[in-house]
Structure 1
Amino acid sequence: MLDPVTASELDLALVHALQVRPRASWTDLAPLLGATAVTLARRWERLTEEGLAWVSAVPGPAFTHSGCTAFVFLRCAPAARERLAAHVAELPEAVTVELLAPGRADLMLDVLAPDLGTMHRFVDEELAALPDVLDMECVFATSLYAEGSRWRLGSLDASQLSVLGRPRTVDGAGTPLTDLSALDRALLDALVRDGRTRLTELADLTGTSAATARRRLNRLTTAGVTAFRCDVAPAVSGLPVSVTFRGHAPANDVNRLHRTLATLPECRLLAAVTGAANVLATYWLRDIGAVQQRETAACAHLPALHITERALGTRTVKRMGHLLDGAGRRTGIRPIRPW
């Protein structure tokens, strides 16, 4: 059972604010949250030190134009589950690794690669060659309607959200990923580890000036190369159950996913994918009993959807490069480098 005192109301509001504006200064957030900048900084320091919340750089909208996203389902012997998960979590391409309840697959991976060729080499030559892997299925995301950087905790009211303003939308049609310089990649590597790293620290880490770091970072975000997201442990979200639905919908209905399934509460990931089951959706829920309710609601919103598989997550070993313990708290990092 989750400890109800792990995160205070101020903690929850702070996390939600950082989900909307991940790199906002404490001074900017202080009036909105009714606390001093010093208090907010101290609260955030505690949350990060305890592995309850963290901000990191992730691929932005431009990644959908030239990058490649796949979901890989691995099957292995029961005794090999933990060992295989730990091994795969060390691979930078496998950005998220989740153990599943016994079923058709034992592990689900989110895999990012800069192009299709690199993806095929990783899946066909590296993953398939692992001795613990008995079977494997790989599906590719053709459209991504919802993902972690768009998920919100729901702790702020409408007036507070209006003060924060709407996140700037970027179409991702800017700088090609291949045009990134060594400095760009160094900045991204630092921000993957800590998305709130200050410009002066970024300058020191990358051997440049704060002004140059600011200019290059603005270029990366404006072009949609990178975005930022605030992740949380279940003790903060209050949603310890993860379930991934796979299903089939007619092609015409798939284009409506962002107006139907993505609007349902607790939707964490929603994608159109290759294969017979052309819809993949992950929801974070309060308990196992909510799984059936969420499936019923999804089918009510999209009657043509036929759910073919329900994969219940038992533990997330790694989320977007960050290693997690059994309670979902961050314990370390294996930096992602999909750019």
Structure 2
Amino acid sequence: MQETVTPSELDLALVNALQLRPRAAWTELAPLLGVAASTLARRWDRLTGAGLAWVCAAPGREFSRGRATAFVLLRCRPGARSRLADRLSKFPETATVEVTGSGSADLLLDVLAPDLPSLSRFLTGTLDQLPGVTSVSSLFATSLYVEGSRWRLRSLDQSQLTALGNSASTAPESVHTRELDLVDHALLDELVRDGRVGLAELGQRTGTSPATVRRRLRRLTDSGILTFRCDVAAPLAGHPVPVSLLAQVPARDIGTVHRTLAATPECRLVAGVTGPANIFATLWVHDIGDIQRREAALCARVPTLTVTDRIVGLHTVKRMGHLLDHEGRRTGVIPISPW
């Protein structure tokens, strides 16, 4: 049974700092937050033990160029939704599983695969065959403009933000990445479970040296194949309402949509997708009424944009491989392996 933890202001500041620097050493963060490194380590252990926050590896912005991502809108028979959500969460291909309450889907999935044939086999050979599924509609990601590692708790003051530096605001460099080898995959397998595992420990687990681990992680992150994210449970984030918008906009205005949404604190994800709608975006809004306000503000900024669907999340069963309970706290992990 998880410990009940009431987060303090220090806890919130710690999580915000790790959102900016997910693998920062406690000794780096201690002067900034005004406490001892041992205090930060102890606080982090309590937060992770309570399922309120965690750091993990996830696909970076360049993932969609060489691999395959699909946002899947799934319809099911009455009464089958909860059972299907639980079953779908067991597949490593389903990075995220969300039970929805409106829009064109009963379940919304984020499916990741190493390539298009692998993605196709999962969609047609697995999803289509599940009992209770009545329809499967897939939106293939063509570009990933904003992803979950950019969302912030916003608990630090400006001086602390300046001292940390928002490394996530800078786009990945153009670094050529060769085909991933066994060591790369072993590192990724460890880091999707716990993104704060130290270099020495990673070296032992993967049969290599800390220097090799450091070099490989730098290459994977600089290339945009890999990113690290500090994720939070719903109670820590203020119980936001997840809403995914499908929208259509002329190609010439996609950049404006991207920049507008990226500047919105509630934005979690923006992707270019195939199909009648060419934009898929996810926001964490304060309440149901905020959905219309955010949509109106977006359309005022981009008059050529038409929102075609609004999918409201009721319960996130799984997020980037991490299993969540009905309160949104992490209870376990089924590691993704899309690389």
TM-score if structure 1 supplies the norm length?
0.94
Match of 2:80, SS?
helix
* Sequence identity percentage: 59
Q: Distance in 1 between matches of 2:213 and 2:311?
A: 42
**Which residue pairs with 2:97 in the alignment?**
97
**Which residue pairs with 2:78 in the alignment?**
78
**Which residue pairs with 1:264 in the alignment?**
264
Q: CA deviation at 1:47?
A: 0.6
Q: 1:270 to 1:222 in 2, by over 3 A?
A: closer
Task: Read off the aligned partner of 1:325 and give its amino acid letter.
Answer: D
Q: 1:268 to 1:239 in 2, by over 3 A?
A: farther
Match of 2:228, SS?
strand
**Which residue pairs with 2:24 in the alignment?**
24
**Which residue pairs with 2:172 in the alignment?**
170
Match of 2:133, SS?
coil
Q: Distance in 1 between matches of 2:105 and 2:320?
A: 20
Q: How many residue pairs are counted as aligned between the two chains?
A: 334
**Which residue pairs with 1:333 in the alignment?**
333
Q: Distance in 2 between matches of 1:45 and 1:138?
A: 39
Residue 15 in structure 1 maps to residue 15 in structure 2 = yes
**Which residue pairs with 1:145 in the alignment?**
145
> 1:88-144 deviations in whole A, cap 9, x for unaligned?
111111100000004421000011111111111111111111122100100111122
Alignment of 1:180-329 (within 5 A): 180-329=180-329
Task: Read off the aligned partner of 2:266 and give its amino acid letter.
Answer: E
Structure 1 stretches lacking a partner, 5+ long: none
Q: Distance in 1 between matches of 2:152 and 2:181?
A: 32
Task: Read off the aligned partner of 1:190 and give its amino acid letter.
Answer: E
Indicate if the aligned counterparts of 1:318 and 1:324 stay in contact, CA closer than 8 A.
yes
Shifted more, 273-282 versus 321-330: the winner is 273-282
Q: Distance in 2 between matches of 1:145 and 1:169?
A: 10
Q: Distance in 2 between matches of 1:148 and 1:300?
A: 25
Q: CA deviation at 1:284?
A: 0.5
**Which residue pairs with 2:106 in the alignment?**
106
Task: Read off the aligned partner of 2:50 and give its amino acid letter.
Answer: E
Match of 1:313, SS?
strand
> 1:25-81 deviations in whole A, cap 9, x for unaligned?
000001111111011111111110000000001112331320111100000012110
Q: Distance in 2 between matches of 1:277 and 1:83?
A: 29
Indicate if the aligned counterparts of 2:61 and 2:147 stay in contact, CA closer than 8 A.
no
Q: Distance in 2 between matches of 1:308 and 1:215?
A: 44
Indicate if the aligned counterparts of 1:7 and 1:235 stay in contact, CA closer than 8 A.
no
Q: Distance in 1 between matches of 2:59 and 2:280?
A: 20
Match of 1:149, SS?
helix
Indicate if the aligned counterparts of 2:99 and 2:107 stay in contact, CA closer than 8 A.
yes
Task: Read off the aligned partner of 1:116 and give its amino acid letter.
Answer: L
Task: Read off the aligned partner of 2:142 and give its amino acid letter.
Answer: T
TM-score if structure 2 supplies the norm length?
0.94
> 1:147-206 deviations in whole A, cap 9, x for unaligned?
101111111122211111231542354214xx2111111111001000000112212222
Indicate if the aligned counterparts of 1:149 and 1:230 stay in contact, CA closer than 8 A.
yes
Task: Read off the aligned partner of 1:175 and give its amino acid letter.
Answer: T
Q: Distance in 2 between matches of 1:61 and 1:245?
A: 20
Match of 2:335, SS?
coil
Shifted more, 312-321 versus 245-254: the winner is 245-254
Q: Distance in 2 between matches of 1:57 and 1:261?
A: 24
Q: Distance in 1 between matches of 2:260 and 2:161?
A: 23
Match of 2:105, SS?
coil
Indicate if the aligned counterparts of 1:261 and 1:302 stay in contact, CA closer than 8 A.
no
Q: Distance in 2 between matches of 1:299 and 1:186?
A: 44
Match of 1:213, SS?
helix
Q: CA deviation at 1:306?
A: 1.1
Q: Distance in 1 between matches of 2:102 and 2:223?
A: 42
Q: Distance in 1 between matches of 2:63 and 2:264?
A: 25
Q: CA deviation at 1:261?
A: 2.2
Structure 2 stretches lacking a partner, 5+ long: none
Match of 2:35, SS?
coil
Task: Read off the aligned partner of 1:14 and give its amino acid letter.
Answer: L
